Chains A and B, each alone.
Chain A
Amino acid sequence: MADIRFTLNGRAVAYAGSAGDRLLDVLRRDYRCTSVKCGCKEGECGACSVLIDGVLMNSCCVAMGAVEGSSVVTMEGFRETERFAALSKAFGDLSAVQCGFCIPGMVLAAEALLSKNAHPTEDEIREGLSGNLCRCTGYNAIVNAVNNAAKEGNGLW
């Protein structure tokens, strides 16, 4: 069986394991991308969200075979970008991060949303983040932070 080749955070990699392995497990174990959190392993909480070719996906529900030829971005890659800096500043200004467990996935959900819609309404932000559960914040600070990032990061998306 040939290796599964894909791009991880901009770097070409080859995975020698099974095509049926779970992307979440492989990212955490083999590539030490521990920003990708396991909250449920059933595709329900969004803590393991990653971007696959720019599309937000729950990595617990993706088999390795499906990422062949794709570009996978986790927080380990995204945190090096200007867009991340804008989102981080906005989240920080509103103390939108509490326990932090949902946050890498939440920020990637924000990135996926803003990439498609640089100036979302509040309803659109809530829709865009609706697959990512947060138990701490009540969501207001997160939604407002994404809104502020979209405004202050004008031109980045």
Chain B
Amino acid sequence: MDKISQSVVKKDHATKISGRSVYVADYPSEGVLCGKLLHAKVARARVVRVEVPELPEGYFYVDAKDVPGDNNVNIVLDDTPVYCRDTVEYIGEPIAMLCGPDEAEVERLRDACRVVYEELEPVLDLRAATETFFDYHYGHGDVDGAFAEADAIYDEEFETGYQEQAYLETQGMMAEPEESGRMFVHGSSQCAYYIHGAVARALGCGPSGVHILQDVTGGGFGGKEAFPSILGCQVAVAARKCGRPVRCVFDRREDMEYTSKRHPSLCRYKVAVKDGRVTAMDIDVVFNAGAYSTLSAVVLQRGIIAAPGVYDVPNLRVHGCARKTNTSPCGAYRGFGAPQTFFAVEMMMDHIARDLGVDSLAFKQAHLVKQGDSTSTCGRYHFPVPLPAMIEEVETACSYREKRAAYAKPQTGRYRRGIGMSLYFHGAGFTGSGERDLIKAVAKLRKYRDGTVEVLASNGDIGQGVRTTFPKIVAHELNLPLDKVFYDHPDTARVPDSGPTVASRSLMIVGELLRRAAIHLREVWVDGEEQEVEERYKEPDFMIPFDITKFDGDAYPTYAWAVNAIELEIDTLTGTSKVLGAYGSFDVGTPVDYNIVLGQMEGGFLQGIGYASIEKMDCDDKGRIRNNSFSDYLIPTTKDVPNLRCMLHVEKYPDGPYGAKGAGELPLVGAPAAYLEAVEQALGGSSLHHAPFTAEDTLAVIAKEGV
């Protein structure tokens, strides 16, 4: 193991485990007003008026009329209002915020507000939705020719549902007007500079009129990428009006119902096969964006780029669209569009193999991409594709092939077993030219006279460990003890914009900037002086420039790879399934701390198994999400997957620090396909097309097809 990979005790371990860490809800309440949002109760309506009860002194009602700047939150497009315009577009849309010193009184006043609606017909069904936010096409080769010459054509549709991030700390933001007139906004978040831009715009002030601090954050998983920009604007506007600090912390039901989650999807795959090989794919991807566009453009881009999976498809046509429905806007969630398409393509390949009477894994392996091949967007896999070796690592861990063959034979009795395998990647960093053209990351190191070094960057520790791994890189290059290098939660008043904490980019992109900055500092180091060095992102020379209008070029500089196998046992009487083992080999390059990376892999893999199996969330016929608590939306506990085994395979990436690649998102992406393939086997060869696949779904198959 490389020295840099050796685990250390995390920098924030002692404060977190002892309960001393201050999350946004933990700041004292003295002098702070409690803010509670008045949410729309209907999915689509014109808001005729709001009848606000008489407010006691010190209590405030804040709505769109109080927004001093632009009532649009800057995300990708700017269609999300800070507070609703003259219509509401989904159940939960914020109409106003009630603020005051006493939480119970604020809630009473909020609940006493009477909103008069003129109801409009909402669009709730993705299949019936017609308004398209984003619509993309790309492809290569002669798809129609390949279909005309095919021996067989397969045409199937796959569906996935919502997934809720279910971070243990709900959304919460706080705004404090400073004496200088500047607005200080802080809270649970991933992207301080996103919030900075959004709040400056909503307040109508320049960038120096606000600063944003990331507080200790109780999990994000993408859910705190864009949403805190919205809530940050709302509390900032409220604090401006009230002239006092305002804090709004969501309760769990509010969070589960009204904040962004993973896009539900419909993926239709038409595949041409000739002489036992896939010759073409014609893929149609539809994502349910919800009521506003938020991050759907970029989620969809990543989803459709991954649509043909890890396979060499000579003729490809991909169409993707994100449609508006009158439901909670969907957003970022670990994997960012790719879990949906990887689920579809892996199931599709499995189904084709079964129909051809060949082994699913052998069929997939025969189509694997390798180094030097073209990517789906005519970029290149510049580096080795280690999937064949990783398949054998998983094989060694769980005797996959032997079990797969054994469980394929007719089973009898109450309990039936199956095993499935998925092969996948995750493109490391921002899609396309985002790093080069949009983010333009800057990172700094400041050395103090006493020889300690501070990392200045904007990436927030949300549990993934950057408060430890960033200093590890710097200490390594400077040959300093780790306790001489520190990294605090970013405050935009003090740190440069090294980009958001998203896209598995922090360690690979910003970590590399810090490594280079540390080398620079080492060269100019003078004892006893305060010194500062800076590094700026530069796109690696090898990259084929990406054109987003054509989806052409290198969408990612490199890829993290994974192989998952899931073995399970179904109880045919109750429909419940027990995961007997979940095995994953993950290549995220060099781990810059073995334990931290292993923890990311284990945590992400378990979230993926939840997504595949028990995490079901849906809207009712009014557009309301009913699965709004941990009893109606189940996430895995200690007991669900006791045998969860993750292995690291290291294929070093030369442009990442010490060979590190993007890590955080990868482990979630492939679990649904491995799980569903196992369920199909246990059910005697059913063809399944949706995730999550719950006990109820299993019973429905048994009722229809028998066992």
Return A124 CB to nearest CB of chain B, in Å: 11
Does A8 sit at the interface, judged by CB under 8 A? no
Q: Which B residues lie within 8 Å of A44 (CB)?
A: 629-631
Q: A42-B629, A101-B219 are in contact. Are A135 and B168 (CB under 8 A)?
A: yes
Collect the chain B residues with CB atoms within 8 Å of residue A103's CB. Answer: 16-17, 19
Determine how close the nearest CB of chain B comes to the CB of A20; give it in whole angstroms.
Answer: 12
Query: Would you list the 4 A-B pairs with minimal beta carbon distance, nearest first?
Result: A35-B19, A101-B218, A100-B16, A138-B602
A92 touches B13 (CB 8 A): yes
Alpha-carbon separation in the docked complex, A35 to B21 (Å):
8
**Residues from 99 to 157 in A contacting B, C-beta threshold 8 Å:** 99-104, 107, 122-123, 125-127, 129-143
A135 to B615, CA, bound (A): 13
Instruction: Give the total of A residues in contact with B, Cβ under 8 Å.
Output: 57
CA distance A75 to B638 in the complex (A): 21
B399-440 interface with A by 8 A CB criterion: none
**Which residue of chain A has the shortest Cβ distance to B170 in the bound complex?**
A39
Tell yes or no: A29 within 8 A of B by CB.
Answer: yes
Q: Which residues of A contact B463 (CB under 8 A)?
A: 98-100, 136
A contacts, CB < 8 Å to B:
28-29, 32, 34-42, 44-45, 47, 74-76, 79, 84, 87-88, 91-104, 107, 122-123, 125-127, 129-143
A133 touches B13 (CB 8 A): no
Q: A29-B29, A101-B23 are in contact. Are A126 and B638 (CB under 8 A)?
A: yes
Q: How far is the CA of A39 from the CA of B8 in the complex (A)?
A: 29
User: Is B691 an interface position by the 8 A CB rule?
Assistant: no
CB-based contact A133/B635 at 8 Å:
yes
Q: How far is B599's CA from A74's CA once the two chains are assembled, in angstroms?
A: 26
The interface bits of chain B over 566-602 (1 if a CB of A lies within 8 angstroms of the residue's CB, else 0) are 0000000000000000000000000001011011011
Given contacts A34-B19, A98-B599, contact A135 B219 (CB under 8 A): yes
Tell me the complex Cα distance, A97–B465, Å.
9
B595–A88 CB distance below 8 A = no
How far apart are the CA atoms of A127 and B252 in the complex, in Å? 25
Question: Once the chains bind, are A95 and B638 in contact (CB under 8 Å)?
Answer: no
Tell me, in angstroms, the Cα distance from A60 to B20 when the chains sit together: 20
A98-B603 in contact (CB<8A): yes
Residues of A within 8 Å of B642, CB to CB, are: 122-123, 126, 143
| Chain B positions within 8 Å of A130 at CB level | 637-639
* Chain B residues, Cβ within 8 Å of A39: 168-170, 252
Which B residues touch A42, using CB under 8 A? 252, 629-631
| Selected contact of A47 from candidates B168, B462, B604, CB within 8 Å | B168
CB of A134 within 8 A of CB of B26, answer no
B12: A residues at CB distance < 8 A: 97, 100
Residues of A within 8 A of B14 (CB): 88, 92
**A92 with B219: in contact, given A98-B599, A134-B168 (CB under 8 Å)?**
no
Q: Are B595 and A133 in contact (CB under 8 A)?
A: no
- Say which residue of A45, A122, A135 sits within 8 Å of B607 (CB atoms): A135
B7 contacts chain A at the CB level, 8 A cutoff: yes
Query: What is the CA–CA distance of A108 and B245 in the complex, to the nearest angstrom?
Result: 33
- Contact partner, B166, options A35, A36, A135, Cβ 8 Å: A135
Chain B residues with Cβ below 8 Å from A131 are: 637
Chain B residue with the shortest CB-CB distance to A95: B595
Q: Are A140 and B13 CB-contacts (below 8 A) given A35-B18, A44-B629, A135-B607?
A: no
Whether A136 lies near B252 (C-beta < 8 A) is: no
B644 within 8 A of A: yes
Nearest chain A residue, comparing its CB with the CB of B168: A101
A99 in contact with B166 (CB, 8 Å): no
Q: Cα distance A115–B635 when bound, in Å?
A: 28
CB of A143 within 8 A of CB of B638, answer yes
Is residue B700 contacting chain A, with contact meaning CB distance below 8 A? no
> Which partner residue on chain A sits nearest B21 by CB separation?
A100
Give bound CA distance, A113 to B218, whole Å.
25
State A130–B642 Cα separation when bound (angstroms): 11
List chain A residues, Cβ under 8 A from B464.
98
B277 touches A (CB below 8 Å)? no
Q: Please tell me if the beta carbons of B465 and A88 are within 8 angstroms of each other in the complex.
A: no
Taking CB atoms, residues of chain A closer than 8 Å to B29 are 29
Known A29-B29, A104-B17, A133-B635; judge A99-B218 contact (CB<8 A).
yes
Q: Which residues of B contact A84 (CB under 8 A)?
A: 18
- How far does the alpha carbon of A137 sit from the alpha carbon of B463 in the complex, in Å? 9
B221 CB–A CB distance under 8 Å: yes
Q: How far is the CB of B254 from chain A (nearest CB, A)?
A: 11
